[in-house]
């Protein structure tokens, strides 16, 4: 089921065209990584989806509801975590969540139990009586996420959620996202720090200068970009023999040698790669390892933004 | 339907209560509260020392006591309410928490009402703090010719007016500092215009003393705060007219605040900055 959909979304700020016909399609339960350089249009798109900004043209739908026409219904379904957020100076964590619980019109009787659940989920249960202004950056992020979850939204729009976090807090945040995905939430996460998103998202959208350059399953895009498989071979003995074997193999498209290490490009499948290893060993090469180099989100991003994708 | 309405009211009251709690914990509010308490102690100590006993009439004593208490209260409100309200929306916009409120189910009107009520509750708290000082004068000498109940009402209307101006400007500004400066400028303009208006209304009515006072006030609006304007409370026409004027101007600024929130994505501080510089 389509949970988030935009059609030809545009937004202009005076002379600046922030979005130029953005089409996004996110299915229910997806974790969608929205990546792009600073100023690409990620935040603008998210703000349109969160009803904070009206598009200049085009349409946006969440759970089949038009964002511009029925913002109240959208607000019930969406949890929005902005990239920069403030906390109320004089409020304790429980009061802060109580405040937003009341703001989302959660009945008082249910509110206490919901707050307890959200605090447990975000691992803040022991901090309920502390002032939010005294929290560290990581705790403030979790506090904001707790606030975002208070009305149990179907869709989470997280704008740069892990920026400024230390590695430990970042790892904890990733775990939290996985838990939320298991709970069936549809999550859109924007970031320009690609290592954050690589192992969190099943789909990605790459945006630059207000245009969507590529979108879809992460693995699919990676496969399309990397037309050949990249292998790395390192030998202990018989590097010359290995070089000769690779030269003679018609399935090897290209390779480079650096001492006892080879970087190979091939269209072979998994079985053929296994056969290559057998042939190398049979020809007297002592192989230390042969592995496939997995593509990273950085590779995808660099390919797409260089204009390689789709050409 | 009835239970839904009850639940909505309960939620709204919870919002005001939580916001008020947060406000009362703010350092500047606490500091002004302490200042007020110190001022009131001073007033009472003057009274206990018998400083007012040189006055010939009991009414003069009560007036002097009331003047000191209320002038001090009005002064505290003057320095507390405009910054609180001017900072309310612009401050939240700057910190980023405004967006989180805007994506919740609170309407712009509800948001402005919540902010106003929480600020007014702080003022009610201040007035309650002043009650002991006022009661001493009242019980010992009484207030002759004065309807005491009019005092807190007009003070709350003044506070409401400050709040409305502050929130209106705040909703149009990205910078809390600009919003505070602009609020004070607008308050001075509006409070300067008010006495002039009353002067025009009162010309020929025979109340020359009131008219003189109001003309003076027109040139020096702050005098309203620093001087005990007995006329507001003893002449009910003047009192009611002042309330009407305050209500009218407050309504305009509340409307601006609501519209500003509705169009919050288009707000810049250019206009406010320009007005401040020009002023």
Which chain B residue shows the shortest CA-CA distance from A107? B7
Pick from B99, B110, B121, B262 the residue to mutate for testing the A interface (most A CBs within 10 Å). B99
List all residues of chain B from 14 to 73 with a beta carbon under 8 Å from chain A: 14-15, 18-19, 21-26
Interface membership of A52 toward B (CB under 8 Å): yes
Which chain B residue shows the shortest CA-CA distance from A90? B22
Query: How far apart are alpha carbons B51 and B73 in whole angstroms?
Result: 21
> Shortest Cα distance from B131 to chain A (angstroms)?
27
Closest CA to A17 of A49, A47, A39: A39
Within its chain, how far is the Cα of A4 from the centroid? 15
Interface membership of A99 toward B (CB under 8 Å): yes
Residue B13 CA: distances (Å) to CA of A76, A99, A142, A220, B39: 21, 11, 27, 52, 32
pLDDT in tens, A211-228: 888 888 877 777 666 666
Contact B104 A104 (CB under 8 A): yes
Contact B105 A76 (CB under 8 A): yes
Interacting residues of B105 by C-beta distance below 8 A, sequence separation 6+: A72, A75, A76, A103, A104, A105
**For chain B, percent of residues with pLDDT exceeding 70:** 61
Residue among A52, A88, A106 minimizing CB distance to B102: A52
Q: What integer pLDDT is reported at residue A298 of this predicted model?
A: 72
Contact B22 A88 (CB under 8 A): yes
**Which stretches in chain A have pLDDT values below 70?**
193, 195-196, 223-228, 294-296, 303-311
Q: What integer pLDDT is reported at residue A164 of this predicted model?
A: 72
Work out the number of other CB atoms within 10 angstroms of the CB of residue B105. 16
Q: What integer pLDDT is reported at residue A306 of this predicted model?
A: 66
Contact A50 B103 (CB under 8 A): yes
Residue among A90, A95, A104 minimizing CB distance to B23: A90
Predicted confidence (pLDDT) at residue B24 exceeds the cutoff of 50: yes
Looking at every residue in chain B, the average pLDDT score rounds to 73
Question: What is the token pair recorded at B200?
Answer: 């025009």
Interface membership of A108 toward B (CB under 8 Å): yes
Interface membership of A76 toward B (CB under 8 Å): yes
Q: What integer pLDDT is reported at residue B47 of this predicted model?
A: 63
User: Which chain A residues are within 8 Å of B100, Cβ to Cβ?
Assistant: 80, 82, 85, 100, 144, 147
User: Which chain A residues are within 8 Å of B97, Cβ to Cβ?
Assistant: 85-88
pTM passes above 0.80: no
Question: What is the token pair recorded at B63?
Answer: 């007036």
Query: How far apart are alpha carbons A78 and A149 in whole angstroms?
Result: 9
Q: What integer pLDDT is reported at residue B142 of this predicted model?
A: 57
User: Which chain A residues are within 8 Å of B14, Cβ to Cβ?
Assistant: 98-99, 102, 108
Contact A95 B105 (CB under 8 A): no
Query: How far apart are alpha carbons B204 and B199 in whole angstroms?
Result: 10
Residue B148's SS3 state is: coil
Question: What is the token pair recorded at A207?
Answer: 């945006």
pLDDT in tens, B159-212: 898 899 999 999 888 888 888 988 988 887 777 666 666 666 665 555 556 555
Contact B26 A89 (CB under 8 A): yes
Query: How far apart are alpha carbons A29 and B176 in whole angstroms?
Result: 41
Which chain A residue shows the shortest CA-CA distance from B94? A86
Interface membership of A104 toward B (CB under 8 Å): yes
**For chain B, percent of residues with pLDDT exceeding 90:** 6
pLDDT in tens, B96-155: 888 888 899 988 898 999 889 988 888 888 888 777 776 666 666 555 555 566 677 777
Q: What integer pLDDT is reported at residue A48 of this predicted model?
A: 92
The complex's ipTM works out to 0.76
User: Which chain B residues are within 8 Å of A83, Cβ to Cβ?
Assistant: 96
Work out the number of other CB atoms within 10 angstroms of the CB of residue B114. 22
Contact B97 A86 (CB under 8 A): yes
List all residues of chain B from 62 to 121 with a beta carbon under 8 Å from chain A: 92, 94-97, 99-106
Q: What integer pLDDT is reported at residue B269 of this predicted model?
A: 45
Pick from B16, B17, B88, B100 the residue to mutate for testing the A interface (most A CBs within 10 Å). B100
Question: What is the token pair recorded at B202?
Answer: 């009162």
Interface membership of B7 toward A (CB under 8 Å): yes
Residue among A90, A103, A107 minimizing CB distance to B105: A103
Interacting residues of A175 by C-beta distance below 8 A, sequence separation 6+: none
Q: In the A/B pair of chains, how many CB contacts fall below 8 A?
A: 91
Residue among B18, B94, B97 minimizing CB distance to A95: B18
Q: Is B133 exposed, middle or buried (0-12, 13-18, 19+ CB in 10 A)?
A: buried
Interface membership of A51 toward B (CB under 8 Å): yes
Predicted confidence (pLDDT) at residue B7 exceeds the cutoff of 70: yes
């Amino acid at each position: 089921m389509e949970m988030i959909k935009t059609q030809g979304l545009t937004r202009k700020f005076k002379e600046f065209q922030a979005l130029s016909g953005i089409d996004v399609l996110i299915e229910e339960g997806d974790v969608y990584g929205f990546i792009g350089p600073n100023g690409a249009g990620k935040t603008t798109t998210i703000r349109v989806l969160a009803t904070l900004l009206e598009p200049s043209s085009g349409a946006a739908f969440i759970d089949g509801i038009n964002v511009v026409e029925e913002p109240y219904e959208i607000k019930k379904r969406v949890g929005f975590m902005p990239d920069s957020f403030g906390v109320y100076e004089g409020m304790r964590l429980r009061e802060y969540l109580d405040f937003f619980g009341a703001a989302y019109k959660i009945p008082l009787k249910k509110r206490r139990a919901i707050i307890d659940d959200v605090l447990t989920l975000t691992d803040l249960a022991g901090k309920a009586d502390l002032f939010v202004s005294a929290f560290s950056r990581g705790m403030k992020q979790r506090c904001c996420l707790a606030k975002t979850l208070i009305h149990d939204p179907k869709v989470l729009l997280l704008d740069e959620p892990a920026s400024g976090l230390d590695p430990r807090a970042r790892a904890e945040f990733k775990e939290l996202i996985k838990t939320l995905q298991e709970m069936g939430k549809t999550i859109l996460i924007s970031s320009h720090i690609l290592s954050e998103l690589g192992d969190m998202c099943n789909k990605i959208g790459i945006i630059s200068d207000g245009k969507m350059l590529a979108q879809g399953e992460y693995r699919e895009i990676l496969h399309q970009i990397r037309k050949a498989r990249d292998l790395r071979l390192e030998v202990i003995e018989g590097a010359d023999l290995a070089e000769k074997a690779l030269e003679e193999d018609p399935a090897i498209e290209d390779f480079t040698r650096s001492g006892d290490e080879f970087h190979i490009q091939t269209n072979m499948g998994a079985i053929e790669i296994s056969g290559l290893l057998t042939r190398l060993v049979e020809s007297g090469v002592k192989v230390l390892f042969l592995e496939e180099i997995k593509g990273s989100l950085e590779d995808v991003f660099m390919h797409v933004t260089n204009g390689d994708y789709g050409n | 339907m009835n239970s839904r309405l009850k639940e909505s009211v309960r939620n709204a009251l919870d919002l005001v209560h939580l916001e008020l709690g947060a406000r009362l914990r703010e350092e500047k509010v606490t500091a002004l509260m302490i200042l007020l308490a110190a001022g009131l102690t001073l007033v009472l100590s003057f009274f206990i020392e018998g400083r007012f006993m040189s006055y010939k009439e009991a009414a003069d004593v009560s007036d002097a006591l009331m003047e000191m208490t209320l002038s001090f209260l009005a002064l505290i409100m003057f320095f507390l309410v405009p910054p609180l309200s001017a900072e309310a929306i612009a401050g939240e916009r700057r910190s980023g928490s405004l967006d989180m409120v805007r994506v919740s189910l609170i309407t712009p009107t509800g948001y402005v009402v919540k902010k106003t009520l929480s600020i007014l509750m702080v003022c009610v708290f201040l007035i309650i703090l002043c009650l002991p000082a006022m009661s001493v004068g009242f019980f010992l000498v009484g207030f002759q010719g004065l309807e005491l109940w009019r005092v807190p009402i007009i003070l709350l209307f003044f506070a409401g007016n400050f709040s409305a101006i502050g929130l209106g400007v705040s909703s149009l500004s990205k910078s809390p500092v600009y919003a505070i400066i602009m609020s004070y400028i607008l308050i001075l303009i509006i409070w300067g215009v008010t006495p002039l208006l009353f002067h025009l209304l009162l010309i020929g009515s025979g109340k020359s003393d009131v008219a003189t006072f109001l003309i003076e006030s027109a040139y020096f609006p702050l005098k309203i705060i620093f001087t005990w304007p007995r006329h507001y409370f003893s002449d009910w026409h003047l009192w009611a007219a002042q309330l009407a004027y305050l209500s009218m101007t407050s309504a305009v600024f509340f409307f601006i605040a609501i519209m500003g929130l509705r169009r919050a994505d288009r707000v810049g501080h250019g206009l406010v900055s320009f007005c401040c510089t020009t002023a």
